[in-house]
Each structure stands twice: as C-alpha cells, then as structure tokens.
Structure 1
Amino acid sequence: MALGWERGTTDDAAAQRFGTVPFYSSLGRAFVTMCAVIPILFLIEVLDIGARGRLDLAGGIIPHRLEGLDGVLFSPFLHAGWDHLYGNAVPLILVGTFALAGGAKRFLWSTALIMLVSGLGVWFVGSPDSVVVGASGVIFGYLGLLVTRGLVERSWWNLGVAAFIGLLYWYQLYAILPTDPRVSWQGHLLGLLGGVLAAIVFRRRKPKAQPTLLHGPNLYGD
C-alpha cells in the first residue's frame, strides 16, 4: 500500500513550490543538514582508525552471518579508509540535499527503506568472506529516489532534479555491475532499487479536486 503525503497539508508540501521563499529555505536547510552529517562520518573514521579497523568489523555487514546482520543499521556510517570516505562525501551532500528538500518526514522513511533493502539484500546475496561498509548504497538509493520521484510525481522541479542528477552520475552506473571484486555492486544495485521503491511508496499525491456547488436560477428575483 502506498503512503500518500497529501500536498498542501504540511509545511513540507508548501516548500515544494519552485521559486518561493519556503522552497529556497527548505533547500538551504537541507544543504546545511547534509553538510553537518559529513564531519560525523569523518569523526567515526578517526575512531575506527584509532581502533585499528575494529569498528568496521563490528559494524559492517557480514553476509549470511547473524553477527553481521547489525551492519544493516551501522555499515552506512563506516568506511574502509579516507579515500573511500572522500569518494562518498560529496555525492552524499549533493543527492542527500535534494532528497531531504523533498520533505524531512519522507526523507527519513525513504532512508530507512533504502538502508533496509540495500543492507538486507547484501546480507542475503553477498560473499560470506566479505565485510561490507560505506554509504554508497544509500547514495545510489537517493539517486534512484530522485529520478523516480521526478517521474511518479510529474513535477517540473522534480523532473529537473532527476535530469540534473542523471547528467552528473550516469557514468557511475557501472558500479551496479560486478566489475570490481573490491566493490559491493550488490549494495549499489539494491540501494538503487530501494530508492525507486521509496519514491513510489512515499510519493506525494496531488489533492483531489473539491466538488463545485451548483444551483439553479433564482426564480423569486431576490
């Protein structure tokens, strides 16, 4: 069953009108919020380096093992070194900003669904000899979310965002294929599909037209 976010019933919906003050305010707040997330990820990486990688082992997804199932929740916050984190930081800010600007409530629900689909999928189909960490599954999820949201909601703004994101990251789609044994392509692909699903489930529905009250001519001349 789809969960509808009715347009016009929340402040999030009011901020979707392109060119308005609430629209720009929402986009600005989303950008600041996503920028604030990045230092947290860097702090976690500092702690992991200090712990000699033990956080990755404790919080990463280890496919087919019960002790690695909690990685569904923790793995997006962990990275396998600075290069890995640097590579995810800028795309996370960009796609996360546009995803969050679409409404905080459905952003949180969409993120949870993306993490669940990507994380559980990796746990079921990934290699049991691997430990999977990184925010790239969520990033691909936001990518799928934005592109699909532009299509299902038929909004010029969302379609413009979808085109912009598509032009920026079309070349990254190779990462959903098994081209590099060091990369969890399953997490990328399943994250992308999770984003598509989230855009459909948590789509913003247009309000139904209100009935018009009709009346006959005034026969009494009042």
Structure 2
Amino acid sequence: MGYGWTDAREDEATRFGTEAFYSSLGRAFVTMCAVVPGLFLVEAIDVGLGQGTLDVAGGIIPHRIEGLDGVLFSPFLHSGWDHLYGNAVPLILLGTFVLAGGAKRFIWSTFLIMMVTGIGVWFVGDPSSVVVGASGVIFGYLGVLITRGVVERSWWNFGVAAFIGLLYWYQLYGILPTDPGVSWQGHLLGLVGGVLAAVIFRRRRPKPAF
C-alpha cells in the first residue's frame, strides 16, 4: 500500500531523533539560507532601478487585471530593506521546518499558500494599494506547522510553531487590521492557506491490515 505524500525514507526523516531527521533538517536549513539571498538580490535590483519600480510592476494591485500577476511575483518583492530584513529570519526558520517535512509537500504547500493569499488579497484588498512581501507565505508556513501538529499528531511540528510564535508574537498581530500600511488580509489569508495545505497534503499513514 502506498504512503500517499510520503515514502519510507521521508517517514524516517520526519521522526524526531533519527539520523535521517537531523540530515533532512540540515539540508532544509541550507536550502532556505540559499533562497533568501535571492530576495536580497531582487531588492538590490529594485533599488538600482528606482525604489518601487519592481514593486509596482510585480506587486498585487487589488481589483485590477494588470495587478493579478502579483499573485506569483509579490512574495519575492519587498517595499524596502527593513521590510525584507523583518521577513528574512522567520522565513528561514519556518521554511526550514516545513521543507524538512518533504520537498514535494513543501513545493505544493508553498504554491497553495501563494494562490490563496494572492488571489484573496486581489479580491478583498485596498484597490489603491500595491501589496508585496513574503509575509503571507511566512504566516502560511506557521499555519502548516500548527495544523500538521494536530492532523498528523506531530507534536514536534506543533512545538516548533509554538516556539517561533513566542519569538515573533508581536508579528502575529499582523492578522488584525491594526496598521493601515500592512496588508493584514494577506497575513490572515496566508494563515488560512497554510491550514488548508497541511490538511490537503497531510502525511497519510497506511491502514493496518487485518
């Protein structure tokens, strides 16, 4: 019987304390550390072209057709260095633990989070705004870890999410409309997308034969 979204090696890699687990975690951390410099390169290009040039070209502009391509591009763009610095560390930390759960699940989960966040913001966001940033994906990864802890009974995932939530508790207020300069809709929708991804792409254990 198939494992669904896993195989024997991936199952071993998700069991806390095993050698495969630590190897998987290490590879995921190196991968995320390699991804984030790409975001800094994009921001440097944006600054070189004139701050905001890429943001307007690739950001989500709610309710406008020309702003719909931002669903794919906006997570790679940021409104400035401070915005990017604020997202870089939680993206590495959360992305590492989500990726350690399997590369295929990571890719599909990230895609679903981007779609839910981007399309949702395009429908409900402020039409006078341009929405950019990886915050929606970050909140999505948080949702993935919390929900995996429940649906897969993986208290390791739940514990990681709780720990990172304690580190960045002040950012969790981002799901509330407290700052007019922040797309709280994107944060909230990212969290919802992460929950959906964790449920849809959950690790299915084979049923015991009788």
Pair in the same fold by TM > 0.5? yes
Deviation of 1:205 (Å): 1.4
Where in structure 2 are the equivalents of 1:1-222 lying within 5 Å? 6=4, 9-52=7-50, 53-211=52-210
Q: Deviations over 1:150-189 (max 9, x none)?
A: 0110123223223323333333221101101100000000
Runs (4 or more) in structure 1 with deviation over 6 Å come to none
Structure 1 residues 29 and 12: CA distance shift in structure 2, 3 A? same
Q: Is the 8 A contact 2:120 2:186 kept in 1?
A: yes
Q: Deviations over 1:176-221 (max 9, x none)?
A: 011011000000000000001101000001211123xxxxxxxxxx
Structure 1 residues 203 and 44: CA distance shift in structure 2, 3 A? same
Q: What SS is found at the alignment partner of 2:171?
A: helix
Structure 1 residues 122 and 7: CA distance shift in structure 2, 3 A? closer
Q: Give the unaligned 5+ runs of structure 1.
A: 212-222
TM-score with structure 1 setting the length: 0.89
Q: After superposing the two structures, state which structure 1 stretch, 97-106 or 166-175, moved more.
A: 166-175
Aligned-pair RMSD on alpha carbons? 1.5
User: Between Structure 1 and Structure 2, whose CA radius of gyration is higher?
Assistant: 1
Q: Is the 8 A contact 1:7 1:206 kept in 2?
A: no
AA aligned to 1:25 is S
Structure 1 residues 129 and 102: CA distance shift in structure 2, 3 A? same
- The 2-side partners of 1:156 and 1:174 are apart by 24
- What is the match of residue 220 of structure 1? none
Deviation of 1:10 (Å): 4.6
Q: What SS is found at the alignment partner of 2:16?
A: coil
Instruction: Tell me the percent identity.
Output: 77
- The 2-side partners of 1:183 and 1:8 are apart by 37
Q: Is the 8 A contact 1:148 1:196 kept in 2?
A: yes
Q: Give the unaligned 5+ runs of structure 2.
A: none
TM-score with structure 2 setting the length: 0.94
Q: Deviations over 1:105-150 (max 9, x none)?
A: 0000000000000000000000110000000000000011100110
- The 1-side partners of 2:155 and 2:188 are apart by 27
- The 1-side partners of 2:162 and 2:81 are apart by 30
- The 1-side partners of 2:104 and 2:193 are apart by 17
- The 1-side partners of 2:198 and 2:138 are apart by 14
AA aligned to 2:18 is T
Q: Is the 8 A contact 1:12 1:102 kept in 2?
A: yes
- The 2-side partners of 1:18 and 1:166 are apart by 20
